[in-house]
Amino acid sequence: MSKLNSFISFFLVALFIGCTTEPPRDILTRTVVYEPTEKWMWLHGDKNASEEDLKARFTKLAQYGVTGVLIGGDHESMFRAAKAAGIEAHIWMWTLNRGDEYIMENHPEWYSENRLGVSCWDDPPYVGYYRWLCPTKVKVSDYLAEQVTALAEKEYIDGIHLDYVRYCDVILPRALWEKYGLVQDRELPQFDYCYCSTCRKKYEASHGTDPILLAEPSVDSSWIQFRYDQVTALVNRLSAICQERNKPISAAVFPTPSIAKQLVRQDWVNWKVDRLFPMVYHGFYNEPADWIETAVKEGVDALNGKCKLTAGVYMPDLSSDSTFNLALKKAKTGGSMGISIFGKMSERQFEILKAHE
Ligand SMILES: [Zn+2]
């Protein structure tokens, strides 16, 4: 009996100490789980909107619970209007897919070349806007570093959001094969990048082989790894620039670590960023909306707390209210910190978003 009493006393003391010092670990964990969902949206830049229009637009988004926006391009009035409404505003920039007039006219040598020696500069794959820069080239990295530095130093920009930070799709998401009349059950040379002279020399210097001579480049793990590392090094350089300026950096990435590596050579688990927005666009992979949970979980597990993960959803595939609602729930149960919306929403869907916790 006395043993039991002392056990109870010890338990009460432990409980008391627990309450007065720091909460036990399970309570801390629960705090994270019950945090309200962060709500983000990708917004295209709008040069022509008046200040009144912008004020009305962002006030409405704030009322619907939107907490952050990713704004395409440096449109100062949009950033200021978002912030005035209490919304965090990051700049959404295309990173390696760059058809900018300046680069196209002055630096054709910056573009990626495929295994057939064709450059994205004069013959882009799949679509006319696929103008991929080579991440291995120091001048490309310097140029992007300069741009990110300038943007991160602007007081009205709260953070940097990288998009298209990857190689060209060596394999397209399954649902797009028919659209382009392709069967991509293996890596085809015309979509396999980058075999420019910089990449070939750099790889040969470290591995002793010119990658263009590899008999089976699609299964050569060191050549695959080399390309993951080129993008990772670029991202981490841009990340360091943002970190020095106390600006968060994030990236829109392919839906899961394995799909990202296989399709576009994005090894995002090893990126030093603050947040990742995997585009869990189930329709592109011929998957049902339930798959969002599986995809998010794969990313969350692989990251193991290294950075935040916010699931990106694609509105054209979520046109019914029930599917949209399901997508929000599946992202949450998969472990996503929040949700990011791409595409147009109906008033009803805004209401669903507002009600989502
Ligand atoms: Zn290259």
Q: Give 143-155 pLDDT, tens digit per residue.
A: 999 999 999 999 9
Percent of the chain's residues with pLDDT above 90? 89
Q: Is the pLDDT of residue 32 over 50?
A: no
Q: How confident is the model at residue 22 (pLDDT cuts 50, 70, 90)?
A: very low
| Residue bearing the bigger pLDDT, 266 or 22 | 266
Q: Separation of 293 CA from ligand 1 center, angstroms?
A: 36
Q: Separation of 240 CA from ligand 1 center, angstroms?
A: 23
Q: Separation of 197 CA from ligand 1 center, angstroms?
A: 7
- Measured between its terminal Cα atoms, the distance across the chain in Å is 48
Q: Separation of 135 CA from ligand 1 center, angstroms?
A: 7
Q: Separation of 178 CA from ligand 1 center, angstroms?
A: 29
Asked if residue 313 lies in contact with residue 280, where contact means CB atoms within 8 angstroms, the answer is: yes
* pLDDT for the residue numbered 8: 40
Residues within 5 A (CB) of ion ligand 1: 134, 136, 194, 196, 198-199
Q: Separation of 101 CA from ligand 1 center, angstroms?
A: 20
Q: Is the pLDDT of residue 4 over 90?
A: no
Q: Is the pLDDT of residue 20 over 70?
A: no
pTM assigned to the model: 0.89
Q: Is the pLDDT of residue 34 over 70?
A: no
Q: How confident is the model at residue 30 (pLDDT cuts 50, 70, 90)?
A: very low
204-220 burial code (b ≥16 CB/10 A, e <16): eeeeeeebbebeebeee
* pLDDT for the residue numbered 35: 67
Q: Is the pLDDT of residue 25 over 50?
A: no
Q: Separation of 72 CA from ligand 1 center, angstroms?
A: 27
Cβ atoms within 10 Å of 241's Cβ, excluding its own = 21
Asked if residue 65 lies in contact with residue 41, where contact means CB atoms within 8 angstroms, the answer is: no
Q: What is the mean pLDDT of residues 189-205?
A: 98
Q: Separation of 110 CA from ligand 1 center, angstroms?
A: 8
| Residue bearing the bigger pLDDT, 103 or 33 | 103
DSSP-H helix ranges across 119-256: 138-152, 197-207, 221-244
